[in-house]
Each structure stands twice: as C-alpha cells, then as structure tokens.
Amino acid sequence: MRKSPWVLLIFIALGGLLGGILGEVLRAIAPQGSTIQNIFVAAFTPGINPPLTLDLVLVKITFGLSIKVNLLTILGIFLGIYLYKQV
C-alpha cells in the first residue's frame, strides 16, 4: 500500500506541535534555572524578523514566518516520522 506524503507532513506537524506544547508545559512547571529547563526548554527561533513589508500604495502586503524549535519539538517530529512508518 502506497503512503501519501501529505500524511507524512500531517504526522510531522502533529509531532512537532505536541512536542512544542509539552516544552511549554515543562517550561511552566520546571524550576527557573534548573537543568531540565536548560536542556529541554531552551529554544531558537529561525525566521524572518522583522517581517518583510511590500507597500504598493493600494495594497500593503506583509510576509513573515517564525518557528520556535526546542529539543522536545525535534523529538516530537522524530516520533511523528516513526509512527508514520509504523502505520
């Protein structure tokens, strides 16, 4: 049976989303400055900062993208890929 690449993208997105949510919950629960917070919750945010704005007088268009990535997000993505291969 052939697997769709769209299903893979859904699994990756859901895994990353759940990992990100778990990271935010862990950030709120873990004591400030603890090892858990330093390892799992530290995040980097690649993206376009500030957003690119195109002003055409009649229409003003703003382009921007920012992704917050932490270790739990990456683990969630790998879990999504693993679950996709198992299905």
Q: What is the DSSP string of 13-25?
A: HHHHHHHHHHHHH
**Average pLDDT over all residues of the chain:** 89
Average pLDDT for residues 31-43, to the nearest whole number? 80
Kindly tell me if the per-residue pLDDT of 10 is higher than 80.
yes
On whether the CB atoms of residues 83 and 15 are closer than 8 A, the answer is yes
Q: Domain spans of the chain?
A: 5-86
On whether the CB atoms of residues 8 and 81 are closer than 8 A, the answer is yes
Give the side-chain half-sphere CA count within 13 A for 10: 6
Q: What is the pLDDT of residue 1?
A: 59
The amino acid sitting at 62 is: T
CA–CA distance, 46 with 10 (Å, rounded to integer): 21
Percent of the chain with pLDDT over 90: 52
* pTM greater than 0.85 (yes/no): no
On whether the CB atoms of residues 51 and 61 are closer than 8 A, the answer is no
N residues, the chain: 87
Average pLDDT for residues 71-75, to the nearest whole number? 92
